[in-house]
Amino acid sequence: MSHIQPITELTEEEAMFKEMVEEFAREQIAPHVHEMDEKGEFSPDLIRQFFELGIMGIEIPEEYGGTGASFFMSILAVEALAKIDASAAIYVDVQNTLVNNAILRWGNETIKKKYLPQLAQEKLGAYALSEAESGSDAFSLKTRAEDKGDHYVLNGRKLWITNGAEAEIYLIFANINPELGYKGITAFIVERDFEGFSVGKKENKLGIRASSTTELILDDCIVPKENVLGEVGKGYKVAIETLNEGRIGIGAQMIGIMEGAIEAASRYAHERVQFGKPIVQFQAIQFQIAEAATLLEASRTLVYNAARLKDAGKVFLKEAAMAKWFSSVNAEKVTSRMLEIFGAYGYTKEYPIEKFYRDAKIGQIYEGTSNMQLQTIAKYLLFQK
């Protein structure tokens, strides 16, 4: 009988890479997690180390200064980081699955040569689609782009922009002709020092607190014509197809969070003594951990499957939505159950489990809410011809 390789089985190269990233996270990030979470600030030195480690340009070809690896490798890096700190994972996730991915797919050679080396080696990127009245209804955005001949002038405000405080290169969506509806939406690459661009309010969040989430302000922002990403009026396509890949990254964050929570609870269950013995010897505790581990493995299978389909060049829309929905719903459930194993201690900041719980919630909200994922799955299953 021939060997059937499980979806979650890693090649030697993949396993070594994942182990390398997790080791880095344990040694360099873990000592600072609590302080960064309390302050709501991520260490600039750690971001610099991400570039030195080569995990900010994983899919970027070597000719542009990147690693030249697969999308799946990006997913492994995000998972390994989220096991230690979800905020750290987000910086790497947005850079690879949204910003780099969009430029790799939609950028012309001039754009690739200009921006990919910067994104691979030194500059953080951000993806700016959401607005005050444009969340799940992404294409109702109000940001406008006016053609001025040799440049565009952008006006509007973006909200909930991940990496907004530290980024230097922004992928911003604006409408050049509101009368055309979503067919007027265009993607622009905006640099932090462009005239008329500024970073606004930074949000004070429940979880992933060290990851910056900000407002972006475009006040007669001047953007050169050559900084249009893809075709004019085809920004909706850039947005949709990039987010499909980004959702797999969110799934990777969620399985990393689950893994970290289960590991922490399992360790504590061996240490905590009640009724004269470690609580890990009680069947109720064993069953909770067993169920959590099963939900983690099922989530990992969906996430890995979607990532491998993407790398194989196959359709993965439904699989990405399933991976994000299932992993994010279960991340909240698993972290809650694992927190309960700690009893009252789990509700304090003395142990890391409460942070896993807080960090998990965002998975059901950003890059498409759970309801939007279910809608995507339903449309594909019921109306796809």
> What would the pLDDT profile of 280-318 be if each residue is shown by its tens digit?
999 999 999 999 999 999 999 999 999 999 999 999 999
For residue 381, what are the CA distances in angstroms to 174, 189, 227, 301? 31, 35, 37, 20
241 shares its domain with 271: yes
pLDDT digits (tens, 9 = 90+) for 189-230: 999 999 999 999 999 999 999 999 999 999 999 999 999 999
Distance of alpha carbon 296 from alpha carbon 302, whole angstroms: 10
Q: Is 62 a residue whose pLDDT tops 60?
A: yes
The whole-angstrom separation of Cα 237 and Cα 187 is 9
CA distances in angstroms from 7 to 14, 175, 249, 305, 324, listed in the order given:
13, 41, 17, 6, 17
Residue (of 184, 107, 111, 193) closest to 143 by Cα position? 184
DSSP at 9 = P
In this predicted model, what pLDDT tens digit does every residue of 160-169 receive, in sequence order?
Answer: 999 999 999 9
| pLDDT band per the 50, 70, 90 thresholds, residue 138 | confident
* Same domain (yes/no): 268, 201: no
Q: How far, in Å, CA of 354 to CA of 336, rounded?
A: 9
Predicted confidence band at 2 (pLDDT cuts at 50, 70, 90)? Answer: low
Same domain flag for 249 and 311: yes
Read off the pTM.
0.96
Q: Rounded to whole angstroms, what are the CA distances from 84 to 45, 101, 260, 311, 330?
A: 17, 25, 6, 26, 18
Residues 212 and 241 in one domain: no
Q: Is there a single domain that holds both residue 165 and residue 179?
A: yes
Q: Is residue 72 part of a domain?
A: yes
Using the 3D structure, point to which of 124, 146, 161 is the last residue of a domain.
Answer: 124
Report if residue 2 sits inside a domain: no
- Asked whether the predicted pLDDT for residue 4 surpasses 80, the reply is no
134 vs 142, which has greater pLDDT?
142
- SS3 label, residue 176: coil
**Pick the residue with more confidence: 309 or 7?**
309
User: What is the band of 1 on the pLDDT scale with cuts at 50, 70, 90?
Assistant: very low
Hey, what amino acid is at 227?
N
Catalytic residue IDs? 367
Confidence of residue 133 (pLDDT cuts 50, 70, 90): confident
Other CB atoms within 10 Å distance of the CB of residue 384: 9
Range of the domain at 76: 12-124
- Note whether 210 and 85 are within 8 A (CB): yes
Instruction: Count the helix, strand and coil residues of the chain and give each as a percent rounded to the nearest 5.
Output: 60, 15, 25
- Cβ-in-10-Å burial (0-12, 13-18, 19+) of 72 comes to buried
Q: Are residues 75 and 161 in the same domain?
A: no
The radius of gyration of the chain's CA atoms, rounded to the nearest angstrom, is 21
The answer to whether residue 296 is domain-embedded is: yes
The whole-chain average pLDDT of the chain stands at 96
In tens, the pLDDT along 25-44 reads 999 999 999 999 999 999 99
| Cα atoms found within 13 Å of the Cα of residue 277, Cβ hemisphere only | 5
Domain boundary among 200, 233, 266: 233
Q: Angle CA(61)–CA(66)–CA(70) in degrees, nearest 5?
A: 60
Separation between Cα atoms, residue 59 and residue 53, nearest integer Å? 14
Q: Are residues 373 and 279 in the same domain?
A: yes
In this prediction, residue 157 carries a pLDDT of 97
Select from 180, 212, 233 the last residue of a domain.
Answer: 233
Q: What angle do CA 48, 54, 55 make, to 5 degrees?
A: 85
Q: What is the CATH number of the domain that holds 27?
A: 1.10.540.10
On whether both 184 and 297 belong to a single domain, the answer is no
- Side-chain half-sphere of 87: how many Cα atoms within 13 Å? 28
Average pLDDT for residues 343-355, to the nearest whole number? 97
Interhelix angle 317-341/370-383, nearest 10 degrees = 140
Shared domain check, 157 and 120: no
CATH of the domain at 211: 2.40.110.10
Tell me how many domains the chain contains.
3
Which tens digit of pLDDT belongs to each residue from 236-247?
Answer: 999 999 999 999
Together in a domain, 311 and 208:
no
Q: Is the pLDDT of residue 3 over 90?
A: no
Nearest to 98 by CA among 87, 88, 108, 90: 90
The pLDDT of residue 130 is above 60: yes
Q: With contact defined as beta carbons under 8 Å apart, do 220 and 153 qualify?
A: yes
Contacting residues for 94 by C-beta, under 8 A, at least 6 apart: 125, 126, 127, 162, 163, 246, 249
